Amino acid sequence: MSAPATASTAMEPRVLINYYIRKGWYDHVQRLCEGILDKKGNDPVITFWRCFGIVMEGSNSSAIRELESLKKKKEVELPCIHALIYAHNKCKNVDHEEIAQLEMQVVIAEESAGDTAQLLSANFFWHIKEYPKARKILENLMGGRIAAATPVQVKATILRGWIDLTAEPKTKRDLELRDNSLSFFADVKRYSPQLNSIIIRIDANDPEQLMGVAKYFDIKRAYPKSLECYDEIIVKYTWFKEALSEKALVLLKTGEWDQCVDSAERALANSSDDIDALRLLILYLLTREGRPKEASNRIRELMKALLSTEPSNPQLFYDIGRCIARISDRNHEVLSCNLCFIDQAIKLSPENGTFRAERGYQRSLMGDFAEAIEAYKDALKLDESNESALHGLIYCQVKLGQVDDAAQQMEFLSVIQESIGNASADFVLLQAMLSWHKDGDRAKQVKFLQKAVQCHMDKLKDVMQTGDVSTYDMMSVLNPQFLVEIATEYIKLDGIDDGKSMASRGVSILEKLVNKSPGFIEVQVVLANTKFCANEFDDAYRVCNLILKMNPLHAQAHLLVARISLEREHFKAASTSLDQALSHDFSVRQSPSFHIIKAKLLENDGNLKEALAILQNAIKAPKTH
């Protein structure tokens, strides 16, 4: 791809600053800038980025004061004025007169701004997603040249590549710009539709350039080429420690789990608070390995790392907590640990209704519907049209049997939905649930379940088509817990007219989920039970074996193996499995399955009286869920 890599130890602040901002790690930006300023003293460009970090964490007043002082420095006057306008617009009470004054100052500052100030302004506009403004400045800097002639123009060319590569494609033109962005990073020697056979040459010694090529191939799903770039970065720019976790993220997309975990663990060996490395290991433990206890320990480590490195970043706490909840497999310990992220986001941003609605959702995953309702009501106090909170509230009411209240809320929500347009998958699922619980209309329920799946998958497809979407965001949008909910609703239809074909749809959803994420043990349990109820004993046994390989102590899986053994009249094996279930979880004695298995085993041994007594006691016992 390029010349053999040789190690370079000179850290380039611009590269790390841009990387941290792309990740949304604004405390990292401030800390890096403060470290440089402590060593070097006054540096207007570094001070500007520190102020930007302060703006992005929401401390607008503090940032405005510092930017006002900094704009007296000629080399950063123009970007400071742009940043001041942005900061003022983010304030709760916007000072429109001050913004008008600043906009007049922009015109004057533009006339005398040097190349560095213009480049910094373009860089700023890139990070606030004002792409046309950024491109216009860069075109002026290049002066119509195709090839860069000065160091500033080299940086401008690379920045243009990053802008075209990372701008969300909303039009055909945006997609063309993304496709052509590689030419700003490297000399493309041969183009072919098979991106892995492209020959490129990178002449300049700029890590931003090499990272741009890596990102380009990542977005284009030419992962081997992307990995080549990251390998070169790891060797050549030893100060860029995050390259290891970036490589791991690409390996994750290739399905090379062993290499992915190895890279993540190497990243953690370099830095115990590497956010992406910890997130990757949590994803691996939950979706692949079915090891929620170890995942919970990693979640605690991640919380500690965030409190140390990004303590003032509510959006990051929320994003991380949101993703983990959706891959939690409804494990109580995982959800309890994970709730700390959302609680911290709420603590940092108490007026944010989205965060409070997420708290409600996670409480509902734990089965704590009363607490969930309170959280949803708190969210609605802040914004009465918060869709997530309204959906969640109705869902909890249905689960608690408050069907009339739920139907009333649904009428209000339907009005909002009409004004918005396309119904969300969550809304359609609620329609399906109420079709049965309130109206007793199975046909309507099935129609809405089918529509809910379609809406959900359409949304996922739209997100995937943007190209530049992280695995974490993908899992949040996919939301396996939502799909399990729909699958369960389908499976409940078994036993009615055409119920078998409906139940098979639910099974199909579950099978696709566990095929991609075998670590979802509780989903595997639902699948195994469904297979058992359909008399598919071999399939049920196979699924139970998978569960027990991941967790040999899983009592419910042992219990189901005992039931399968009974159906096959393997009484000794059934007795052994029952004993194992009991030894791992004594509470299984309260389950109906335990009593049925025990009674059948006693019956087989000729102990009819004892078998009858067990069944009679089971009937008298309080119901367990």
| Residue 214 predicted with pLDDT over 60 | yes
Type of residue at 50 = R
Average pLDDT in the 555-559 region? 94
User: Which one of 160, 180, 200 terminates a domain?
Assistant: 180
Average pLDDT in the 293-316 region? 97
- The angle that helices 571-584 and 555-567 make with each other, rounded to 10 degrees, is 170
Note the pLDDT of residue 212: 95
For residues 623 and 625, give the distance between their C-alpha atoms in angstroms, rounded to a whole number.
Answer: 7
User: Which one of 135, 165, 180 terminates a domain?
Assistant: 180
For residues 279 and 424, give the distance between their C-alpha atoms in angstroms, rounded to a whole number.
Answer: 28
| Residue 622 predicted with pLDDT over 70 | no
For residues 199 and 354, give the distance between their C-alpha atoms in angstroms, rounded to a whole number.
Answer: 46
Angstrom CA distances, 308 to 28, 30, 273, 275, 422, stand at 10, 13, 8, 11, 42
Domain residues for the domain of 387 are 351-418
How far is CA 423 from its chain centroid? 22
The answer to whether residue 235 is domain-embedded is: no
| Band (148; pLDDT cuts 50, 70, 90) | low
Note the pLDDT of residue 603: 87
Per-residue pLDDT reduced to its tens digit, 225-257: 999 999 999 999 999 999 999 999 999 999 999
What 3-state class would DSSP assign to 189? strand
For residues 248 and 174, membership in a common domain is answered with no
Per-residue pLDDT reduced to its tens digit, 336-365: 999 999 999 999 999 999 999 999 999 999
8 Å CB contact between 157 and 119: no
For residues 250 and 379, membership in a common domain is answered with no
The CA radius of gyration of the chain, in Å to the nearest whole number, is: 29
For residues 29 and 140, membership in a common domain is answered with yes
Element (H, E) at 497: none
For residues 364 and 399, membership in a common domain is answered with yes
For residues 33 and 115, membership in a common domain is answered with yes
Question: Taking Cα atoms as reference points, which of 423, 426, 431 lies closest to residue 448?
Answer: 431
Per-residue pLDDT reduced to its tens digit, 250-279: 999 999 999 999 999 999 999 999 999 999
What 3-state class would DSSP assign to 148? coil
What 3-state class would DSSP assign to 190? strand
CA angle 315, 317, 322 (to 5 degrees): 90
| Band (439; pLDDT cuts 50, 70, 90) | confident
Note the pLDDT of residue 497: 57
For residues 20 and 111, membership in a common domain is answered with yes
Note the pLDDT of residue 195: 55
For residues 22 and 170, membership in a common domain is answered with yes
| Residue 597 predicted with pLDDT over 80 | yes
The 8-class DSSP code of residue 199 comes to E
Per-residue pLDDT reduced to its tens digit, 21-54: 999 999 999 999 999 999 988 999 999 999 999 9
The answer to whether residue 35 is domain-embedded is: yes
Per-residue pLDDT reduced to its tens digit, 379-428: 999 999 899 999 999 999 999 999 999 999 998 888 877 777 778 999 99
| Residue 448 predicted with pLDDT over 70 | yes
Any idea which of 321-330, 516-525, 611-620 has the lowest mean pLDDT? 611-620
How many domains are there within the chain?
4
For residues 251 and 159, membership in a common domain is answered with no
For residues 485 and 474, give the distance between their C-alpha atoms in angstroms, rounded to a whole number.
Answer: 18
For residues 340 and 357, membership in a common domain is answered with no
CATH number of the domain residue 176 falls in = 1.25.40
| Residue 199 predicted with pLDDT over 80 | no
CATH number of the domain residue 377 falls in = 1.25.40.10
Interior/surface letters 172-201, b for 16+ CB within 10 angstroms, e for the rest: eeeeebbeebbbbbbeeeeeeeebeebebe
For residues 366 and 264, membership in a common domain is answered with no
Dihedral over alpha carbons 352, 357, 360, 366 (to 10 degrees): -110
Question: Taking Cα atoms as reference points, which of 67, 38, 40 lies closest to residue 51?
Answer: 67
Note the pLDDT of residue 150: 81
Note the pLDDT of residue 189: 44
The answer to whether residue 543 is domain-embedded is: no
For residues 338 and 358, membership in a common domain is answered with no
pLDDT over 90 for what percent of the chain?
76
Q: Within the chain, how many helices (H) and strands (E) appear?
A: 34, 2
Any idea which of 79-88, 464-473, 541-550, 570-579 has the lowest mean pLDDT? 464-473
Note the pLDDT of residue 186: 80
What 3-state class would DSSP assign to 237? strand
Answer yes or no: pTM beyond 0.75: yes
User: Which one of 418, 435, 469 terminates a domain?
Assistant: 418
The answer to whether residue 171 is domain-embedded is: yes
| Placement of tokens 């690409």 in the chain | 250
The answer to whether residue 494 is domain-embedded is: no
Note the pLDDT of residue 192: 46
The answer to whether residue 426 is domain-embedded is: no
8 Å CB contact between 27 and 313: yes
How far is CA 154 from its chain centroid? 35
Note the pLDDT of residue 415: 82
Q: What count of other Cβ atoms lies within 10 Å of the Cβ of residue 302?
A: 25
Burial class (CB in 10 A: 0-12, 13-18, 19+), 552: exposed
For residues 141 and 290, membership in a common domain is answered with no
Q: 552 — phi, psi (to 5°)?
A: -65, -15
Average pLDDT in the 109-120 region? 94
Note the pLDDT of residue 154: 87
Tell me the β-bridge partners of 187.
Answer: 201
Per-residue pLDDT reduced to its tens digit, 4-20: 445 555 789 999 999 99
| Placement of tokens 């991640």 in the chain | 302
| Residue 191 predicted with pLDDT over 50 | no
The answer to whether residue 304 is domain-embedded is: yes
